[in-house]
Chains A and B, each alone.
Chain A
Amino acid sequence: MAFYRSHVLVCVDPECLAKGAHDIIDALQDEFVAQGLINEIQVLETSRIGKCSEGPEMMVYPEGVHYHGMSVDDIPYLVEEHFLKGRIVERFQEVIKPLVDEELGPLRPKEVRVVLRNCGEIDPNNIEDYLAIDGYQALGKALLEMTPEKVIEEVTNSGLRGRGGAGFPAGKKWALTRQVQGSPKYMVCNADEGDPGAFMNRRVLEGDPHSVIEGMIIGAYAVGASYGYIYCRAEYPLAVETLRIAITQAREFGLLGSNIFGTDFSFDLEVRVGAGAFVCGEETALMASIMGKRGEPSPRPPFPSVKGVWGKPTNNNNVETYSNIPQIITKGAAWYSSMGTERSKGTKTFAVGGNVTNPGLIEVPMGITLREIIFEVAGGIKDGKQFKAVQTGGPMGGCLTETHLDLPLDYEALTQAGSMMGSGGLVVIDENSCMVDIARFFMDFTQAESCGKCTPCRVGTRRILEMLQKICDGRGEDGDIEKLEALCYEVSRNSLCGLGQGAPNPVISTLKHFRHEYEAHIYEKRCPAKVCRPLIRFEVQAETCTGCTVCARNCPVHAISGERRQTHIIDEKACIHCGVCVQVCNFNAIHVLS
């Protein structure tokens, strides 16, 4: 084989061709002949070096220098400088601008990126970017070197658990689906990330769609499935678009379709888009929606592994679960299980939101504490306020307090503390929030999203909401807390699916950890955080009021009176507790009392 000291790759995509890529190649060849370099340097045609807009584009290896925008007349100079004298011609050199990912940003302290490693690093719309970083190698390894049983064993040994929130061991689920007789079998990817405040899956789908697709194909091989659906919510239009492009490209490269890698394994895949129903994130509801029905859950068992889409065995995993798979296959179970705690391995992505200095997406090893996440990774509480609570696990999770901050994070620890891992939303709440109001807020959400199929959830969530509203309005009475507790118990015990079963969690956890706030609302008609409007009043402090009249002029109901340079007075009866006066006062002279 001939040895070349250098390779020149010229892009021959349509746009570069239109800008004379072939002429450039000819000119290069001529010049290499003229300079006697033709046996040392090889010119090759390739595609997609850059964006082609500055074409013709070329890459010179081994230096890895990217040139663009030269004309035929520039070639003799370029050849002389670069290939004879070894000097890079800066005039034509493409300056590489790093991709900026505003959501993700640079690695934060304590972060370990496994699932998010490619986000912002590769072009999600170009499969070659993914292939260039060893993408689809895991698929090759699985299909060509491993039996399905071996794949399942590897995933089982890695300790990977369902990242949708429930934490069912992924390998075990695959083994179950594999065992069940029935054909065809289906793969489903749950990309219906509906939890408010959770957007980890969106980021993966938009930034690294092929890792999810590759994980699904490997899973399909392991369980014996021939077709798959990615059910993505319609609120994520970019993710849907990115997935469709990725699937088309994977098909073009023979990574989806018949006889993948020349084996007798065939698998194809499509994206299904939701239409705005939170409950469709529940797996049985999701499958009903795929089949064109109302997304209402059905009782389990039978589990999807036995009877899923079209009544056939179906393996259902979350986006994050699938996107972990390729690396587990490539790097091995031991590598993956070296991260995390005894019972929860690997990393977990979280979307940290609420009152923190640096909200956003993070990925941390399991076993990290909430304190580390909130105060080190997310930069602590915003504006120097006091930490009060953190809601984990989304609207069906629970509020945890200061005392839980040092728990090592894993599935069991969170459940024991009265919350759950959930999909990974973390809403940090500071001292200015009322916990009864927060519970009411979450209840408002689950009540609206209840599909209405089963009575405990449909009626129960509404009654809980009404009771919370009553307490926030200052109409709470003795015995309400006990009634609330009893009702929460019934709803969580008797509801059909995870939505109803989890709906009372925010109430139960706030009742447990912030009972004094409920009691203050009910017995003292007072909102300690000064949030619930009917329970607060505003008072002008005579010592600090300068009589500037700003509050009086801004009050929407003209409830404030007073002469210029005289202390103003708020008419309690007319005041609607909107708080505008507090916001506009430049002297901090209006205090909220409760």
Chain B
Amino acid sequence: MSELAIKQDVTAIVQAAIEKHGRNREALIPILSEINHAFGHIPGNAFREVQKQIHNPGEQTYIAESQLYALASFYDMLSTKPRGRHVIKFCENAPCHVVGGKAIWNALQERLNLANGETTPDFKWTLVTTSCLGLCSVGPVLLVDDDIYGNVTPEQIPDILKNYE
């Protein structure tokens, strides 16, 4: 995607998100979530765009770019860094940990040669840990994009990854 195309996209997506959620303060997290969903992360110019589009002197609505960035950096699901085409979310929480999660995590890191939060140079994979998904009765659990894998063993990792292009 050319830079111009991304720029036009950002404008359109921000506009659609604001139309859907409104321009009140309480709409900011939903708006940022939509942008994050569309691009996999929040591009830098999106903050400016949201600020610009929400700014309305008549209604005295003003949000600083820094306030938007403060939100994006606080919430785990909002990313300010570009992510890979597929995001692997691994549950590292106690219930998964005690049923062998550590071995899965090691296998994932070794296989992809990534540490937590990193993305492969070809932008195919991003590896992150996630908060508990509440699927503890089938732990260890991992998520590739929106697909859930439960009762995972280290041996299954190559087969799971093979499903994604």
Given A275-B75, A275-B78, A294-B71, does the pair A194, B132 have CB atoms closer than 8 Å?
Answer: yes
B30 touches A442 (CB 8 A): no
**A442 touches which one: B70, B94, B131, B136 (CB < 8 A)?**
B94
Surface stretch bound by A, among B4-12, B19-27, B156-164: B19-27
Q: Which of A135-143, A195-203, A455-463 contacts B (4 or more CB under 8 A)?
A: A195-203
Is there contact, CB below 8 Å, between A353 and B134? no
Chain B residue at minimum C-beta to C-beta distance from A310? B26
B133 at the interface (CB under 8 A from A): yes
A62 interface hit (Cβ, 8 Å): no
Question: Is A395 at the interface (CB under 8 A from chain B)?
Answer: yes
Q: Is B16 an interface residue (CB 8 A)?
A: no
> B74 and A360: CB pair below 8 A?
no
Contact B94 A235 (CB under 8 A): no
- Chain B: interface residue total (CB-CB under 8 A): 33
Alpha-carbon gap, A198 to B135, bound state (A): 9
> Footprint of A on B, CB under 8 Å?
24-30, 32-33, 70-71, 74-78, 91, 93-95, 97-99, 130-137, 139, 146
Question: How many whole Å from A81's CB to the nearest CB in chain B?
Answer: 46
Question: Do the beta carbons of A355 and B99 come within 8 Å of each other?
Answer: yes
Closest 7 CB pairs of A and B: A196-B93, A199-B134, A276-B76, A275-B75, A353-B95, A276-B77, A196-B132
Whether A197 and B93, one on each chain, are in contact in the complex, defined by CB atoms closer than 8 angstroms, is yes
Question: What is the interface size of chain A, counting residues whose CB is below 8 A from a CB of the partner?
Answer: 47
Contact, CB under 8 Å: A295 / B74:
yes
> Which one of B25, B33, B95, B99 lies within 8 Å of A275 (CB-CB)?
B33
CB distance from A270 to the nearest CB of B (A): 10
Q: Which of B29, B70, B76, B139 has the most CB of A within 10 A?
A: B29
Interface status of A589 (Cβ within 8 A of chain B)? no
Report whether B131 and A196 are in contact in the complex, using a CB–CB cutoff of 8 Å: yes
Give, as a whole number of angstroms, the nearest-CB distance from A4 to chain B: 48
CB within 8 A of B97: which of A273, A274, A290, A441? A441
Choice from A199, A433, A449 contacting B98 with Cβ under 8 Å:
A433
Known contacts A235-B134, A275-B77; 17 further A-B pairs (Cβ under 8 A): A194-B132, A196-B93, A196-B131, A198-B134, A199-B136, A202-B134, A235-B131, A275-B78, A276-B78, A292-B24, A292-B28, A296-B74, A353-B98, A353-B137, A359-B137, A391-B94, A438-B94
Q: Report whether B93 and A277 are in contact in the complex, using a CB–CB cutoff of 8 Å.
A: no
Per-position contact with B for A423-434: 1 when CB-CB < 8 Å, else 0?
001010100010
Known A-B contacts A294-B71, A295-B74; the reply to A354 vs B25 at CB < 8 A is: no
Q: Is A361 an interface residue (CB 8 A)?
A: yes
Number of A-B contacts defined by CB within 8 Å: 111
Q: Let me know if A199 and B135 touch, CB within 8 A.
A: yes
- Write out the residue numbers on chain B whose beta carbons fall within 8 Å of the beta carbon of A360: 137
B9 to chain A, nearest CB (A): 21
In contact, A276 and B137 (Cβ under 8 angstroms): no
Residue pair B98, A427 in contact (C-beta under 8 Å): yes
- Residue-wise, chain A 244-288 has the 8 Å CB interface mask toward B (1 for contact) of 000000000000000000000000000001111110000000000
A83 is an interface residue with CB less than 8 A from chain B: no
Instruction: Tell me the smallest distance from the CB of B157 to a CB of chain A, in Å.
Output: 15
Q: How far is the CB of A536 from chain B (nearest CB, A)?
A: 14
**A-B contacts, 5 listed (Cβ < 8 Å):** A273-B30, A276-B131, A289-B29, A292-B26, A355-B99
Could you say which residues of chain B place their CB within 8 Å of the CB of A454? none
Residue numbers in B under 8 Å from A292 (CB-CB): 24-29, 71
**A445 on interface, CB distance cutoff 8 Å:** yes
A291 at the interface (CB under 8 A from B): yes
Contact B76 A198 (CB under 8 A): no
- Provide the bound-state CA to CA distance between A237 and B89, in Å: 15
Q: In whole angstroms, how far apart are the Cα atoms of A293 and B99 in the complex? A: 37
B94 partner, pick from A196, A274, A296, beta carbons under 8 A:
A196
In chain A, residues 172-210, which have Cβ atoms closer than 8 Å to a Cβ of chain B? 193-199, 202
Q: Could you say which residues of chain B place their CB within 8 Å of the CB of A361?
A: 137
Q: Is the CB of A193 within 8 A of B134?
A: yes
Mark each residue of chain A from 345 to 376: 1 if its CB lies under 8 Å from any CB of chain B, else 0.
00000010111000111000000000000000
Contacts A193-B134, A273-B30 given; indicate if A294 touches B70 (C-beta within 8 A): yes
Question: Given A292-B28, A360-B137, do A451 and B74 touch, yes or no (CB 8 Å)?
Answer: yes
**Known contacts being A291-B25, A294-B70, A294-B71, is A355 close to B98, with CB within 8 Å?**
yes
A531 to chain B: closest residue by CB: B102
A199 to chain B: which residues have CB within 8 Å? 132, 134-137
In the bound complex, residues from chain A placing their C-beta under 8 Å from that of B78 are 275-276
Q: Are B136 and A291 in contact (CB under 8 A)?
A: no
> Inside 8 A of B28's CB, which chain A residues have their CB?
292
Across the interface, name the chain B residue whose C-beta is closest to A229. Answer: B26
Does A236 interact with chain B (Cβ within 8 Å)? yes
Interface residues of A in 499-531 (CB under 8 A from B): none
User: What is the CA–CA distance of A195 and B76 in the complex, to the nearest angstrom?
Assistant: 16
Task: State the CA gap A355–B74 with chains docked (Å).
Answer: 34
Q: Which residue of chain A has its CB nearest to the CB of B89?
A: A235
Contact of A277 with B75 in the complex, beta carbons under 8 Å: yes
Given contacts A276-B75, A359-B136, contact A427 B131 (CB under 8 A): no
On whether the beta carbons of A354 and B99 are closer than 8 Å, the reply is: yes
Give the shortest distance, in Å, between A503 (CB) and chain B (any CB).
14
Alpha-carbon distance A199/B98, docked complex (angstroms) = 17
Complex contacts, B27 vs chain A, CB 8 Å: 292
Residues of B within 8 A of A433 (CB): 98
Whether a CB of chain B sits under 8 angstroms from the CB of A563 is no
Q: Which residues of B contact A290 (CB under 8 A)?
A: 26
The distance from the CB of A567 to the nearest CB of chain B, in whole angstroms, is 27
Cross-chain contact A273 with B93 (CB below 8 angstroms): no
Query: Whole-angstrom distance between the alpha carbons of A307 and B38 in the complex?
Result: 36
